[in-house]
Amino acid sequence: MTTTKTARELAETYFSAWEAGDFDTLRGLLAEDVDFVGALGTASGIEEALGGLKGLGQVLEKIDVKVRVAEGDEVITWFELCSTVAPPAPTANWMHVENGKIARIRVTFDPRGLLAGFEKKS
């Protein structure tokens, strides 16, 4: 018997896997046609989404979740994105789940610290 995770459980697993650099687990959570829009770019499909997560994952130090709110197939996670190149960035992430997979992700934060950190690193 298979068990479908709730949207909240999918979000919890998504952030834990991303923080751990476990991209195989992340792949299993995302819909093939996942649609991502964020402060640093957009991604259409699982390969582009994983590419973006891997890219930011190179400087990801910690995801400090402050609160997660779930209602049906919608989850909002408020967290501090802690990186090796910038001060923590307060971040809001909204996910929509369809058929047991994360189908849409929208992320908003002030990217100036990360952008400046990337420039210094280059």
Q: How many alpha carbons fall within 13 Å on the CB side of residue 92?
A: 4
Residue 72 phi/psi, 5° resolution?
60, -125
Q: Alpha-carbon distance 117 to 122, whole Å?
A: 9
Residue 1's pLDDT band (boundaries 50, 70, 90)? Answer: very low
Residue 120's pLDDT band (boundaries 50, 70, 90)? Answer: confident
Mean pLDDT estimate for the chain:
94
pLDDT in tens, 36-72: 999 989 999 999 999 999 999 999 999 999 999 999 9
pLDDT in tens, 26-42: 999 999 999 999 998 99
H-helix or E-strand spanning residue 69 = strand 60-71
CATH architecture of 7-121: Roll (3.10)
Handedness of CA 107, 109, 112, 116 (dihedral sign): negative
Domain ranges of the chain: 7-121
